[in-house]
């Protein structure tokens, strides 16, 4: 069984997120999503989420491509997650190109192209204009 892992906040879930999850799942048999906790988002990324961690987790668990949701609590946990869950492929959007190449020592690393014309940042900006 090939295991794939991806990381993200997945706030204001949209079709770009679904595209990423579908393409990530196509690279293996079992997809793990490491979901950024509220504390991690605020303390490390200075992001305030619209939905809580538990709400975002429930949304992800309802998506057929997602097999397991785990908490992302810090930047450094990726190597230990790959080892603990016996991950074969790490997947993330290509806006992070090159940033996670250090994981190639432990698994394949794939940077997927982002879905054009959609992002949570854009949705929030558009809502503030109204």
Cα separation, 70 vs 32, in Å, equals 7
Active-site positions? 45, 47
Alpha-carbon separation of residue 102 from 8, 30, 39, 80, 82 (angstroms): 18, 22, 25, 13, 12
* Residue 127 to residue 94: CA distance in whole angstroms: 26
Residue 104 near residue 83 (C-beta atoms within 8 A) = no
d(C-alpha 92, C-alpha 104), whole Å: 13
């Amino acid at each position: 069984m090939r295991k794939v892992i991806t990381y993200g906040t997945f706030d204001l879930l949209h079709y770009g997120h679904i595209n990423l999850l579908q393409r990530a799942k196509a690279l293996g048999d079992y997809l793990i999503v490491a979901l950024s906790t509220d504390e991690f988002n605020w303390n490390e990324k200075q992001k305030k989420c619209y939905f809580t961690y538990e709400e975002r987790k429930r949304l992800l668990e309802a998506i057929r491509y997602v097999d397991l949701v785990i908490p992302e609590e810090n930047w450094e946990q990726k190597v230990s997650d790959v080892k603990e869950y016996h991950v074969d492929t790490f997947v993330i959007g290509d806006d992070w190109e090159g940033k996670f190449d250090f994981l190639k020592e432990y698994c394949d690393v794939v940077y997927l192209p982002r879905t054009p014309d959609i992002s949570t940042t854009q949705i929030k900006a558009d809502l503030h204009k109204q």
